[in-house]
Copies of this chain bind each other. A is one copy, B any other.
Amino acid sequence: MLELGSGMAQGDDDDVPLILTWDEDANSGLLSDGALERVDENGTGDCDGVGDASVPKPVPVHSRAQISNRQSWEINYQEAAIYLQEGENNDKFFTHPRNPQALNAYLFAHNHLFYLMELLTGVLLMMLSLSEAPAVPSLRLDVYVHATLELLALVMVAFELCMKLRWLGFHTFIRHKRTMVKTSVLLIQFIEAIVILVRQTSHLRVTRALRPIFLVDCRYCGAVRRNLRQIFQSLPPFIDILLLLFFFMVIFAILGFCLFSPNSNDPYFNTLENSIVSLFVLLTTANFPDVMMPAYSRNRWSCVFFIIYLSIELYFIMNLLLAVVFDTFNGVEKMKFKSLLLHKRSAIDHAFHLLVTRQRPDGISLKQFDGLMRFYKPRMCARDRFLTYKALNQSDTPALCLEDFYKFYEVIGLTWKARQSREHWFDDFSHTMFLIFKGIYILVKSKAFQYAMYVVVAVNGIWILVETNMLNGGLRSGTVARSYIVFLTIYGVEMLLKITGLGPMAYFSSGWNLFDFLVTVIAFLGLIATAFNMEPFYFIVILRLLQLLRLFKIKQRFRNVLDTMFELFPRMASLGLTLIIFYYSFAIVGMEFFADVIYPNCCNTSTVADAYRQVNITIGNDTVLQDGYYYLNNFNNILSSFVTLFELTVVNNWYITMEGVTSQTSHWSRLYFMTFYIVTMVVMTIIVAFILDAFVFRMNYSRKNRETLDNSEDEKGIVFEAEVACAEIRQTLELYKQILPGTNLSSLQGLCVAIEQTADSVVFLGRRARTKSDLSMKMYEEEIQEWYEEFSRISFSQSEQTLQD
């Protein structure tokens, strides 16, 4: 977001910054860099694996020997903004730019355009596998076309890496593990792309499985990186339990082989390898009870073997896995939150000391804050900058002390709105109108109205169910049931009543109302389309069903569940993306080895031949196609591979795909499927642990919150207040005119006029949605204080030490 040249400051000649970064004593202040690096060591931040080495201290961005006071303020603003951004993005401070060239590269590499380029390059590289052989038929491209495209994308990646090298410096660059991995993968891919262009044909390219690295490394995929890190952190205990699992599996396999191999009807235990594979598949329950049946039919007591095996492996050790991952996950989440919090705090420390003046070293004035914000959020209007300052300044002193400034990240994302002094939106209307609207308002707010609507929705649901059940078999597309029009009309009337009663602003501020509105309006549009015979049939079916979702507003628990679902959505999406990245790598490997080995009637020699059979059977006079369909689960292109891998993730009947492929290739193919199973098991266990953790956390939170706060506040999200007096605005306006003559101050002027018309002062409310971080802040309230104290103790002792040195 940082952009250069957003208005140079003027009138900064009076104040002198406390820290001029080239001063020798700048590093020996309260804020010693040593202390900050100490925190980074615990960090689970972006650039881990480098933090513990001896980190070079940040050196001044500019060599500022001959620049004026005003210019040095501008530089300080910019550097403070960079620090705050690093705090927000969890970038470690040792990647802080250290000279003007580095600063330029840093600024070039840190804006949304560049990020977008990174993202698009990554996506393009991954999308290429749609067109490379074996390609999706409709997207097939010639070899030279896709190889050229790949080369182009790789050049882009190389360019991005060059910018990074310029910004980080060679020394830091080669010690940044992730970047080095990326560089080497880039080199390999580059060579391979050239080889393909030269030979004009694709060779076995398993290295394509590494392509997701380019996507994962881009700025917008930070959440995916964090997930991957969390997965790797959970691995060591996971592997221990996995060993336990395999140990018992082998023991039971030997036992099973000894017990059941004399039975010639039992294909599952006739060799030791089959025995192990059978028990591996049994662990996923996919071949149960078939695997037991031959033994069971010979001796009924043989079921004891399988019951004991499943009890130990499936019901005990697999749950143990979940317990271990859940436990690790819990700890990791807390540590991550702690290190992020302390990192942000130290970023604020850094920024604060760059913004205070020599004259007043314990507070930031509005002028300096405004200067910072012009770099940190150039698009923010003057009014919001001022209001943010007011919201931060809780002690009501003329300057912002450090304690106030620590709230920076909580306040920065707020959207500001003047508090409505009116109770209803129609208070200004004439008396008759007021009474009418008031009546509607009371009606809409009444419990009876709400429950009547629930009844309507419930009746609608039952109606749909009955109706669908009635038209068994014959579905006539195009005709819309009259009942639907009736229900839709009711919903429409309800919507209009609510909008008129509550007022458009209040109505649309609720997510549920917005949902109702959209579904109803789209349904009406669909109805109109039907009238013109445009047949958006399935569309209407889905909309009708969506309307039923409203029923879940009835119960507090459902609302909680759905709210939590929405809160968790970003995190869930990033977990899904992580899974897709694993899928991608496995899909590439699968395509390289198993493309086109599966086709109808391919596996007649295997034990799962039936599932792949496609034959015409003549029964009487009819010829019926008997179809096992499993040949559709193949690795013939990347989309099919993804579907096949999803089926393998769901686990049921996955051994049919495995055995089919194995019968067409070698029995080493099983390794691929088993590895995939274990990898998805890890990821899925993490997902389960995450959902468990999030919900248990959320439930604990709402239990804790119920004790201290009323629930109404809870539902509004995060709210900050700022009271603004007319005189204050005028003063600020003057100040702005003085320091930023040419800029657009209309937002502030408009505010000034508005206040003068109505009252002396106006209270503004800044709102934003609640994030997981806010929840954590509340949950760990007490511990946070301890962390802060510990942190400042370390900082203090470090600075003491620095002074003594």
Residues of A whose CB lies within 8 Å of any CB of B are 237, 240-241, 244, 247, 250-251, 254-255, 257-259, 261-262, 265, 270-273, 285-290, 293-294, 296-297, 300, 303, 307, 310, 314-316, 319-320, 322-324, 326-327, 330, 464-465, 468-469, 472-473, 475, 538, 541-542, 545, 548, 551-552, 555, 557-558, 561, 565, 610, 625, 627, 629-630, 632-633, 639, 643, 646-647, 650-653, 684, 687-688, 691-692, 694-696, 699-700
Contact = CB atoms under 8 A, between A and B. Distances in A.
A251 B314 CA distance: 32
19 contacts: A241-B557, A241-B561, A244-B558, A251-B548, A254-B464, A257-B468, A259-B538, A261-B475, A285-B652, A288-B650, A290-B629, A293-B629, A294-B629, A297-B627, A303-B646, A316-B565, A320-B695, A322-B688, A323-B692
Per CB-CB distance, the 5 closest pairs between chain A and chain B, nearest first, are: A293-B629, A323-B695, A285-B652, A319-B691, A272-B469
B257 A699 contact: no
Contacts of A557: 237, 240-241
B250 A465 contact: yes
A651 B692 contact: no
A316 B561 CA distance: 11
Nearest to A307: B646
A326 B688 CA distance: 12
A610 B465 CA distance: 33
Given A272-B468, A695-B324, A696-B326, A286 B244 contact: no
A322 B692 contact: yes
Nearest to A544: B254
Given A538-B259, A561-B244, A289 B647 contact: yes
A271 to B, nearest CB: 5
Contact of A258 (B303, B468, B548): B468
Given A251-B548, A272-B469, A319-B692, 10 more contacts: A237-B557, A262-B475, A270-B473, A271-B473, A272-B472, A322-B692, A326-B696, A327-B695, A327-B700, A610-B610
Nearest to A576: B311
A646 B300 CA distance: 14
Contact of A632 (B293, B315, B324, B691): B293
A381 to B, nearest CB: 40
A53 B529 CA distance: 65
A254 B545 CA distance: 8
Contacts of A643: 296, 300, 303
Given A237-B557, A240-B555, A541-B254, A647 B696 contact: no
A247 B548 CA distance: 9
Contacts of A632: 293, 296-297
A374 to B, nearest CB: 44
Contact of A696 (B289, B323, B687, B699): B323
Contacts of A270: 473
A297 B633 CA distance: 10
Nearest to A466: B272
A725 to B, nearest CB: 48
A290 B629 CA distance: 8
Contacts of A320: 561, 691, 695
Nearest to A469: B272
Nearest to A274: B472
Contacts of A552: 244, 247
A200 to B, nearest CB: 31
A262 B541 CA distance: 15
B261 A473 contact: yes
Contacts of A300: 639, 643
A391 B299 CA distance: 56
Contacts of A294: 629
A288 B647 contact: yes
Given A285-B650, A555-B240, A475 B258 contact: yes
Contacts of A296: 629, 632, 643
B558 A290 contact: no
A293 B644 CA distance: 12
Nearest to A541: B258
A545 to B, nearest CB: 5
Contacts of A538: 258-259
A244 B564 CA distance: 14
A465 B687 CA distance: 36
A524 to B, nearest CB: 20
Contacts of A240: 555, 557-558
Contacts of A700: 327
A658 to B, nearest CB: 13
* Most chain B beta carbons < 10 A, residue from A294, A627, A647, A688: A647
Contacts of A262: 475
Contacts of A650: 285, 288-289, 310, 314
Nearest to A287: B652
A151 to B, nearest CB: 31
A241 B257 CA distance: 43
Contacts of A293: 627, 629-630, 632
A633 to B, nearest CB: 7
A265 B241 CA distance: 45
Contacts of A286: 652
Contacts of A272: 465, 468-469, 472
B254 A468 contact: yes
Contacts of A625: 265
Contact of A288 (B255, B314, B653, B688): B653
A247 B551 contact: yes
Contacts of A551: 247
Contacts of A310: 650
A53 B374 CA distance: 69
A141 to B, nearest CB: 20
Given A254-B468, A261-B473, A468-B258, A653 B297 contact: no
* Most chain B beta carbons < 10 A, residue from A314, A320, A551: A320
A329 to B, nearest CB: 11
Given A296-B632, A320-B695, A652 B288 contact: yes
Nearest to A548: B251
A627 B271 CA distance: 21
Contacts of A555: 240
Given A261-B473, A324-B695, A472-B272, A297 B250 contact: no
Nearest to A470: B272
A271 B565 CA distance: 32
B688 A319 contact: yes
A626 to B, nearest CB: 11
A763 B330 CA distance: 44
A236 B330 CA distance: 27
Nearest to A264: B473
A288 B270 CA distance: 28
Contacts of A695: 320, 323-324, 327
